Structures are given as C-alpha cells and as structure tokens.
C-alpha cells in the first residue's frame, strides 16, 4: 500500500494506481475528457491536471498518467490548477463549441467566454479516444492519428477506405464532441447496396402473394394444380 495526501487528506491506495484512479476511488472529482476506464490512459486533454507540491516547489501533472508515489502531496483544486484547466477548456471549446457536454463542462470549470475564433462545425479535439477504442476494445486498429502539428487528424492509413473497419461504430459512440463521422474518417461505406435479395430463395412470390411454404411443397402443389397433359405438351413442343 502507498500513502499519499490529496487535498490535505491522507489516503491509502494499492500499488500501480494513478492519481486519477485514487481520486475517483475516494470520491474526489477530477474533470476528464480523454480518460476511459476500458482504455490505457493517454494524457491528451490535460483537463485532469493536478498540482504536486514537493517542498517549496510545485508542479502540474496529468493525473490520469501520473502514478501514486509514497508521500506525494497532491492538490486537485488549487488556484493554479483551476486556472490551467480553464485555459485548456477554453482552447478545447475553440475547437468544438457546439457540444452540450463540453459546454456544461466549460461552465463547471468557469469558462465564461471563449476568446478565440469559434468554429462553425464541431471539430475533433484529438483526444485519441476513438483511435484507442478501435485498437483496444474492437481490436482492429482501422483508424489512427495521422500527420503532425496543425495538420494532425484522425484517419485511416493512407486515407483510403479501410478494409479492416468492421463498421461497429465504437469510435462514433466514444467521441465526446460528436465530430466523428464514420463515413468521413474511416471511409466506411456499404460494400454493395442491394435492395433486392439475390440468393437461393426461401420465400417464393406467387402472383404478388408471398408463399410461405418450403420449396418442395410448392413444387408438389404446382404439379398437382397443373392441368393434366400440359407438361407432356410442352415436352412435345420442345422437340
């Protein structure tokens, strides 16, 4: 067991826990966007930032990836943490403004107005949840983060339709901004849209009505209902 202090409150956690996990376990709220319990932590959104005080000095770390250490002194709600989160949130909102979830989170963190140019459409904020979910939950890795810097985006390898994508929609579901459009990113589209069924028939249409009976019953019925001699006549005409 490891002993540490969070917000002046002594806490005991098992080994191999991050600060975020310890806080969640003890009911201390930390806002997160890129964290998901089913995925490996990523440290992408920087909203889970907390202050570590070591002697006179203090530093900010992402709690989702920082492991608990013996004797740590953590503050999750100090002024510097709040200020940092507010700025981060403002920047995130400058990317994707039209999401109710993000707006309410912004309100919670005290973002009153966004001082940057607002986007017209919800944009991806590169939290990487979809990419990690595709890899770790679905296990196909159909999408990944491509390019670097401002050109960085989520896409399929070589930006061509991925044959690995199984169209499960996990990426769409996990996306916190609603920016993920399956068609645009993974290139997923139906292979051969067909309205009619071309297969070995089970149901037969007889004069607009659908005959529910199996084939061989229908065949027998056709034989029985056919006027006598039609078959032989047909054979004769064929010759």
Partner 1 sequence: MNEEQTPRVGIFICQCGGKISNVLDTEELEKRAKALPEVVYTSSEAYHCSKDGRARIQKAIKEHDLERVLIAGCAPRLVEKLFRTTALEAGLEPGYLHIANIREQCAYVHEPGDTEALKQAADIIGMNAVRISSTTATPIQHGRIVKSSLVLGSGLSALTVALALAENQMRVVLVEKENSFGSTSTDQQERTIQLTKERAKAVLEHPMIDAHLNSRIIEISGHPGDYEVRVQEGHKTLTYAVGAIVVSNHAVPKDLGKEQWFDREKVKTQAEFEVELEKSEDEEFSLKNIVMIFCADQSQRTHCSRVCCRIGIQQAMKAHELNPEAHITVLFRDLYLGGIGAGYEADFLEARKNGITFFRYQADHPPVISDRTIDVIDTLTGIPLQLPYDRVVLTMPLIPQADAPALASLLSLPRDEAGFLAEPRLRLRPGRYADPGIYVLGSAQQPGDTAEALFQAYLTSARAARFLSQENITVEAAIANIDPGVCTGCGNCPRVCPTNAIHLEKRDGVLSLSEVDELRCIGCGNCVVVCPVKAISLPGWDNIEIPAQIASAFQQEPGGNGKNEKSQVLALACEWSAYASADLAGSRKLNYPASVRILRMNCSARFDPYHILWAFLNGADGIYLGACPPGECHYGTGNLFAKERVEILKKELAKHGIDPRRLHLEYLSVDDGLKFAQTLSDFVEEVDAIR
What minimum distance in Å lies between the beta carbon of 28 and partner 1? Answer: 11
For residue 229, give the DSSP letter: T
- Strands annotated E in the chain: 2-6, 9-13, 49-54, 57-62, 73-75, 144-146, 153-155, 204-206, 209-211
Token pair 């309410």 in the structure block, residue: 104
Query: For partner 1, which is the closer residue by CB, 89 or 130?
Result: 130
What minimum distance in Å lies between the beta carbon of 141 and partner 1? Answer: 10
Query: For partner 1, which is the closer residue by CB, 151 or 194?
Result: 194
Tokens of 203: 């149901």
The site for partner 1 (CB under 8 A) is made up of 14, 16-17, 21, 24-25, 27, 29, 36-38, 100-101, 133, 137, 157-158, 160, 163-164, 166-170, 172-174, 178, 180-182, 190-195, 197, 199-203, 210, 212, 214-216
What minimum distance in Å lies between the beta carbon of 94 and partner 1? Answer: 21
What minimum distance in Å lies between the beta carbon of 93 and partner 1? Answer: 18
Q: Can you name the residues that pair with 153 across neighbouring β-strands?
A: 146
Rounded-to-integer distance, Cα 103 and Cα 98, Å: 7
Tokens of 202: 């089970």
Rounded-to-integer distance, Cα 228 and Cα 111, Å: 87
Query: For partner 1, which is the closer residue by CB, 149 or 201?
Result: 201
Query: For partner 1, which is the closer residue by CB, 94 or 166?
Result: 166
Query: For partner 1, which is the closer residue by CB, 110 or 157?
Result: 157
């Amino acid at each position: 067991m490891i002993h540490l202090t969070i917000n002046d409150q002594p806490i005991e956690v098992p080994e191999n826990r991050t600060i975020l996990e310890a806080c969640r376990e003890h009911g201390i709220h930390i806002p997160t966007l890129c964290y998901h319990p089913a995925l490996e932590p990523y440290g992408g959104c920087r909203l889970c930032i907390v202050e570590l005080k070591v002697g006179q000095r203090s530093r900010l770390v992402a709690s989702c990836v920082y492991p608990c250490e013996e004797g740590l002194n953590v503050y999750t709600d100090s002024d510097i943490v709040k200020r940092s989160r507010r700025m981060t949130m403002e920047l995130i909102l400058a990317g994707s403004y039209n999401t109710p979830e993000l707006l309410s989170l912004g309100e919670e963190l005290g973002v009153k107005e966004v001082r940057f140019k607002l986007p017209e459409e919800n944009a991806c904020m590169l939290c990487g949840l979809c990419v990690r979910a595709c890899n770790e939950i679905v296990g196909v890795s159909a999408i990944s983060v491509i390019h670097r810097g401002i050109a960085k985006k989520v896409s399929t390898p070589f930006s061509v339709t991925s044959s690995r994508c199984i169209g499960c929609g996990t990426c769409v579901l996990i996306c916190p901004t609603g920016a993920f459009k399956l068609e645009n990113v993974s290139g997923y589209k139906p292979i051969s849209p067909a309205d009619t069924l071309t297969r070995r028939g089970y149901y037969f249409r007889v004069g607009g009505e659908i005959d529910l009976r199996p084939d061989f019953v229908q065949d027998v019925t056709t034989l029985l209902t056919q006027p006598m001699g039609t078959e032989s006549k047909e054979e004769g005409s064929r010759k």
